Amino acid sequence: MRFRVRKTAHVFERVGLAMAGAACGLFVGAYVGSSIAHLTTQGFLLTMMVLGFIGFYLGIDTPQLPFDDAHSQIDAAEFLSAAGTLCATFTALASVAVIVLRLDPHIAWTWLVLLGWIAGVAMQIVAGTKARMRK
């Protein structure tokens, strides 16, 4: 019984993180979509949200390698997860700031946010997949 409760709590936690990723994707999609006319679609917003959902579900809370002399190398999955989470959340924060403060940054910044978001969630997805395959 105790194991099922812990497992359920873990799934709830991961789904909550995934919903936070979807919200981040929504903010990035709203900012980028409002600045780049070709990306002003519901499909683009949905894609950004789904990428965030998958990235944050897989990429946060990855199983770590045991810490001993046999595994003294750098854990690539852990590093990718951390870097991807930082990159994705930073671009989401920048998007929220632009929206809330009603800023009008140069279009190059918009493309940088989009590329940063895609790179961040891609790192999370790769890290989460890699960490779960080694079990």
Q: What is the SS3 assignment for the chain?
A: CHHHHHHHHHHHHHHHHHHHHHHHHHHHHHHHHHHCHHHCCHHHHHHHHHHHHHHHHHHCCCCCCCCCHHHCCCCHHHHHHHHHHHHHHHHHHHHHHHHHCCCCCCHHHHHHHHHHHHHHHHHHHHHHHHHHHCC
pLDDT confidence tier of residue 121, bands split at 50, 70 and 90: very high
The 10s digit of each residue's pLDDT in 9-56 is 988 999 999 999 999 999 999 999 999 999 999 999 999 999 999 999
Nearest to 53 by CA among 25, 22, 12, 14: 22
- Residues in CB range of 100: below 8 A, 6 or more apart: none
Greatest distance between any 2 Cα atoms in the chain:
56
The 10s digit of each residue's pLDDT in 69-84 is 666 677 888 899 999 9
* Number of domains the chain is built from: 1
Range of the domain at 8: 2-133
The two tokens of residue 44 are 């683009």
CB 107, CB 36: distance < 8 Å = yes
Q: Which residue has the tokens 């917003």?
A: 45
Q: Which residue has the tokens 């998958």?
A: 54
Residue 126 pLDDT exceeds 80? yes
What does pTM read for this prediction? Answer: 0.87
